[in-house]
Amino acid sequence: MQLRAAEFFAGIGLMRMGLERAGWSTVWANDIDEKKWEMYRANFNEGSCEFVLGDVHNIDGKDIPDIDLATASFPCNDLSLAGARHGLAGTQSSAFWGFIDTIKGMGRRRPPLVLLENVAGFLTSNDGNDFRDALLALNELGYAVDAFLIDAVRFVPQSRQRLFVVGTKVKNDCLREVSPMLMQSDLRPPALADFIFMNPEIGWAIRDLPSLPSPSIKLQHIIEDVPLNSELWWSKERCDYLLNQMSEKHRAEAERMMAGAKWSYGTVFRRVRNGRSMGELRTDGIAGCLRTPRGGSGRQILFCAGKGTYRVRLLTPRECARLMGADSYKIHVPLNQALFGFGDAVCVPVIQWIAENYLNPTLQALRDLPLALPQSRVNVTYKEQRKPKNHKA
């Protein structure tokens, strides 16, 4: 089965990498960031995919080739807890509407599947109105929608929860009702299940999904062997300053690590608490969520301790790549450029899992029975598409 995808907001190409592992070919891609494009083209054969460098608002749907899937990891800056929470009306996250306009412009060639990815905060942005508006926009294009949350920690040693939406094109603007029995699960926790229940005007198509895998690797398994004389290691003065930024609880944990007979590893983020910059140490073998290094606080610090001493440095780009499941990614750019690229990216094995367990079987069902509903143990009925509450005739 030939599987063709278009990758909107492609970034450094980790969505493409995950899809390729599940048998997909990316035939078209777009991003506005030239530095991310530099990393993208260093890792993928330019001849196999048309890459459009520019604003999504300027893309004509008629120029998109025939595809089976359109993916959109649109900017999260206005949606995340770490951002300004301006929502889909914000300067960057409003790019979502450019994506919608482009898909609309494809007319009858609109792909059978759409995949959105964003931060978990998308669910509650502007009291849930942004998420509702986005799903209704997909409904208006003929897509029934499903939503689920996946934390990358089920695949890699990084805590990175993301919200995913799958849109499945259905016939004659008829959308499916949801079966309430299957809404709440590990992938649809109470907050998301409640949203589904409370928004019956949205055309839902909830698919039963298998359990997520159990994590098998820890932070220690992705650490690079950096020589002791490397300039990457911080000076004693800088290390001591970080240690003094820790609370009594975190300082005690750091000292416990130092007293160990073997080396152990943790990560540190600097956060402002009560007007003071504090170093928060995490020692459960899981890295915090990789972020873009805006202002310096987004840089994740590696804390190595044992045998009566400790060492400190930033996570390297290669370690960041491993935390995103992109172990073999080629990195030939400066540190900050690499950190920005990976901080904005998707986790590769998460995308592979979604493709293998959702996108591929759904597309196969649509091809085998074009009018069928690709559900698994879900009781569904057709219903006419309902208009949004604020819709004006």
Q: Which of 76, 289, 320, 347 is catalytic?
A: 76
Q: For residue 261, give both structure tokens.
A: 């007979």
Phi and psi based region of residue 286 (left: phi greater than 0; alpha: psi -120 to 50; beta: remaining): beta
Contact 300, 327 (CB under 8 A): no
Active site residue 76: yes
Angle at 339 between CA 311 and CA 102, to 5 degrees: 160
3-state secondary structure the chain: CCCEEEEECCCCCHHHHHHHCCCCEEEEEEECCHHHHHHHHCCCCHHHCEEEECCHHHCCHHHCCCCCEEEECCCCCCCCCCCCCCHHHCCCCCHHHHHHHHHHHCHHHCCCEEEEEEEHHHHCHHHHHHHHHHHHHHHHCCEEEEEEEEEHHHCCCECCEEEEEEEEECHHHEEECCCHHHCCCCCCCHHHHHHHHHCCCCCECCCCCCCCCCCCCCHHHHCCCCCCCCCCCCCHHHHHHHHHCECHHHHHHHHHHHCCCCCEEEEEEEEEECCEEEEEEECCCCECCCCCCHHHCCCCEEEEEECCEEEEEECCHHHHHHHCCCCCCCCCCCHHHHHHHHHCCCCHHHHHHHHHHHHHHHHHHHHHCCCCCCCCCCCCCEEECCCCCCCCC
Rounded-to-integer distance, Cα 74 and Cα 99, Å: 8
Q: Which residues are catalytic?
A: 76
